């Protein structure tokens, strides 16, 4: 599947490096990955029967992402040292391709958790209602 830009934001608590760029503290982060994001979703499971009705039971979800680059913005990190925050934002965006590549495993895991949660909501709907036979 191909998506246009995907935006996200979150409160963050970070101590470490992203693509060699040191980040530390509590704050707020925003990101926009894209302009195009390609995703391959692999959902594995099996059928289960309950009272003669078949349901799909998801066992595993795997997501592979291809991200060209993104734009990133953090605030309030480094005990709200504005100079360090500005420098971090400049570094993140000057190296957005490398930062995006470093974050792909995190984004893939996040997507897998979301898809798995979504699939679990479908376990109570009979399979034939999800995918009716064509007439």
pLDDT above 70 covers what percent of the chain? Answer: 99
pLDDT(98) > 90: yes
> Among candidates 49, 8, 3, which has minimal Cα distance to 30?
8
Confidence category of residue 133, pLDDT binned at 50, 70, 90: confident
pLDDT(134) > 80: no
Segments making up each domain of the chain, as ranges: 2-130
CA separation for the pair 133, 129 (Å, rounded): 9
Q: What's the whole-model pTM score?
A: 0.83
The 10s digit of each residue's pLDDT in 35-84 is 889 999 999 999 999 999 999 999 999 999 999 899 999 999 999 999 99
Amino acid 5: pLDDT: 92
Provide the CATH number for the domain formed by 2-130 in this structure: 3.15.10.30
């Amino acid at each position: 599947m191909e998506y246009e830009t995907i935006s996200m934001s979150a409160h963050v608590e970070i101590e470490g490096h992203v693509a060699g760029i040191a980040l530390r503290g509590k704050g707020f982060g925003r990101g926009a990955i894209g302009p195009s994001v390609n995703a391959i979703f692999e959902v594995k499971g099996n059928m289960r029967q309950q009272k003669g009705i078949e349901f799909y039971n998801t066992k595993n979800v795997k997501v592979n992402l291809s991200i060209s680059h993104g734009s990133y913005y953090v605030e309030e990190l480094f005990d709200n040292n504005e100079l360090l925050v500005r420098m971090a934002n400049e570094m993140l965006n000057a190296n957005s391709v490398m930062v995006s590549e470093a974050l792909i495993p995190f984004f893939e895991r996040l997507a897998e958790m979301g898809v798995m949660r979504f699939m679990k909501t479908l376990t109570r709907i009979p399979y034939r209602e999800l995918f009716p036979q064509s007439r």
